[in-house]
């Protein structure tokens, strides 16, 4: 069943905006820590190893929880998972902003990743299930564009919040509340907005139909039609066609799934949903999508975790006249300097203005890139876009280790990070390659 009888109108654009906002929450929760580890060294006494752990722990939470949230989203409903996990993730973020030790903030950042996965993983499937094949890629890339716009504000918010000198003491918790702690909370606020907005939307009609409720499916599609036409056109005459039920022998029997099942029964049903991905005809598709997602996360989001800090070091290198040195030499010379001087970190709690500027430029280019992809994807196709993005990103990533001009290193680093533009395309491919009851597994964000 595909809800293509309705016009693409105000409902679709609003849904794209809300889903994009939810995806942006996951992105902001992931990327905000890159600014935190660059300015909170003294407050948390962070070593280089601890910075790496703090950067990775959100991803660990996302990976650990993905199957749990996917199973619940696929059996209980997308909305029933997305809304509460957004609220709980924000609560975890607020709690992490009050932590004074590395391990406690690590625990709460893990919980944030654990919870935000429940919001970000089902969103691609939720959005895709409101659209037919002809408009699905455009809708998903539209949501990715919203993410790009949101990320554009990240360095702006970081500058407005972090680059302040105020501080106050909370005696009850015995902490110095500094701007970077407020920055964590601000980055989590869109989650509450997204949760409130999601309460105004129904469950995806394709999901409802696959669970056997044809009457409710028709009601949802008619409701979409009324909003898109402002109630000025007659009621649609629709015939629901089940395009998956007969052709997919691996489809799970949803009627047999109950929240009252024991742990072993639930685990068995999760396995029954997951196992088909590693069998024909999905094995090759699963390997392809997972490889693309893994490579993109490692090259883009993994490297972005240290982007503000490394950029700050490049700016410092230019200021002291190091105009002929590689990026690796700058990073390691800074590390040796800290060690030799007794770990005297820069404790001013702020970043260079140039760092914010380059971060803004990177996010602006990302936004334009996603907008361009959303415009041309229906004409060019997905494969040429992916090949172009990965080729440019890979070449830039190799060259950045050899170039001895700091300014050139900055730009090559930024080009390498732009492989994240491919994530929306990859998820659009995943939603099309897999049926409704398997799409959540291969649509992990993450967000």
Domain with residue 7: its CATH number is 1.20.1250.20
CA angle, 60 as apex, 56 and 62 as ends, to 5°?
120
Co-location of 162 and 297 in the same domain: no
Co-location of 431 and 326 in the same domain: yes
Co-location of 196 and 300 in the same domain: no
pLDDT at 182: 93
CB within 8 A of 362, min separation 6: which ones? 307, 414, 417, 418
Residue 251 covered by a domain = no
pLDDT at 6: 64
Co-location of 232 and 294 in the same domain: no
Residues of the chain below pLDDT 70:
1-6, 234-262, 266, 322, 333-350, 431, 435-447
Co-location of 232 and 284 in the same domain: no
Co-location of 305 and 194 in the same domain: no
Query: What are φ and ψ of residue 75, in 5° steps?
Result: -110, -35
Residue 41 belongs to what domain range? 1-236
Co-location of 125 and 189 in the same domain: yes
Co-location of 370 and 229 in the same domain: no
Supply 48's token pair: 């280089």
Read off the pLDDT of residues 362-389 as tens digits, 9 standing for 90 and up. 888 888 888 888 888 878 888 899 899 9
Residue 92 covered by a domain = yes
Co-location of 185 and 293 in the same domain: no
Co-location of 288 and 227 in the same domain: no
Task: Choose one of 178, 212, 236: the last residue of a domain.
Answer: 236
pLDDT at 91: 95
User: In terms of DSSP bridges, do strands 168-170 and 175-177 run parallel, antiparallel, or are they unpaired?
Assistant: antiparallel
Q: Kindly report the length of the chain.
A: 447
Residue 272 covered by a domain = no
Co-location of 11 and 156 in the same domain: yes
pLDDT at 433: 75
Co-location of 415 and 306 in the same domain: yes
pLDDT at 237: 62
Residue 265 covered by a domain = no
Supply 217's token pair: 């499916």
Read off the pLDDT of residues 73-95 as tens digits, 9 standing for 90 and up. 877 888 999 999 999 999 999 99
Read off the pLDDT of residues 187-218 as tens digits, 9 standing for 90 and up. 999 999 999 999 999 988 888 887 777 888 88
| β-bridge mates for residue 175, sequence order | 170
pLDDT at 246: 42
Number of domains forming the structure of the chain? 2
Read off the pLDDT of residues 426-437 as tens digits, 9 standing for 90 and up. 877 776 777 655
The pTM assigned to this predicted structure is 0.76
E strand or H helix that includes residue 301: none
- Number of H-type helices and E-type strands within the chain: 18, 2
Residue 242 covered by a domain = no
pLDDT at 113: 92
């Amino acid at each position: 069943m595909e809800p293509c009888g309705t016009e693409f109108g105000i409902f679709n654009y609003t849904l794209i905006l809300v889903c994009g906002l939810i995806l942006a929450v996951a992105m902001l929760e992931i990327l905000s820590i890159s600014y935190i580890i660059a300015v909170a060294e003294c407050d948390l006494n962070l070593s280089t190893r601890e910075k790496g752990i703090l950067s990775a722990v959100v991803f660990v939470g996302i990976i650990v929880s993905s199957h749990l949230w996917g199973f619940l989203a696929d059996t209980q409903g997308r909305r029933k998972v997305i809304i509460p996990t957004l609220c709980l993730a924000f609560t975890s973020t607020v709690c992490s902003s009050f932590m004074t030790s590395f391990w406690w903030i690590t625990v709460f950042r893990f919980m944030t990743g654990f919870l935000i996965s429940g919001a970000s993983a089902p969103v691609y499937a939720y959005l895709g299930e409101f659209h037919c094949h002809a408009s699905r890629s455009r809708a998903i890339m539209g949501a990715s564009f919203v993410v790009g716009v949101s990320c554009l504000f990240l360095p702006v918010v970081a500058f407005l919040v972090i680059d302040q000198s105020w501080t106050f003491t909370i005696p009850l918790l015995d902490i110095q509340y500094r701007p970077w702690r407020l920055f964590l909370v601000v980055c989590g606020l869109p989650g509450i907005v997204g949760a409130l907005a999601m309460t105004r939307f129904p469950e995806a009609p394709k999901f409802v139909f696959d669970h056997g409720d044809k009457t409710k499916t028709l009601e949802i599609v008619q409701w979409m039609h009324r909003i898109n036409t402002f109630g000025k056109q007659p009621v649609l005459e629709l015939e629901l066609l089940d395009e998956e039920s007969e052709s997919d022998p691996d489809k799970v029997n949803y009627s047999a799934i109950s929240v009252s099942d024991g742990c072993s029964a639930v685990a068995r049903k999760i396995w029954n949903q997951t196992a088909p991905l590693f069998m024909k005809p999905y094995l090759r598709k699963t390997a392809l999508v997972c490889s693309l997602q893994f490579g993109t996360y490692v090259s883009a989001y993994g490297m972005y975790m240290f982007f503000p800090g490394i950029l700050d070091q490049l700016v410092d290198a230019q200021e002291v006249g190091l105009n002929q040195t590689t990026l690796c030499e700058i990073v390691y010379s800074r590390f040796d300097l800290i060690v030799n001087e007794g770990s005297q970190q820069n404790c001013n709690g702020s970043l260079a203005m140039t760092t914010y500027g380059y971060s803004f430029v990177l996010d602006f280019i990302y936004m334009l890139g996603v907008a361009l992809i959303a415009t041309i994807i229906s004409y060019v196709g997905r494969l040429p876009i992916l090949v172009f993005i990965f080729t440019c990103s890979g070449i830039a990533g190799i060259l950045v280790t050899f170039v001895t001009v700091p300014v050139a290193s900055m730009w090559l680093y930024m080009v390498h990070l732009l492989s994240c533009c491919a994530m929306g395309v990859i998820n659009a491919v995943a939603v099309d390659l897999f049926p409704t009851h398997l799409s959540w597994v291969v649509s992990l964000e993450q967000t």
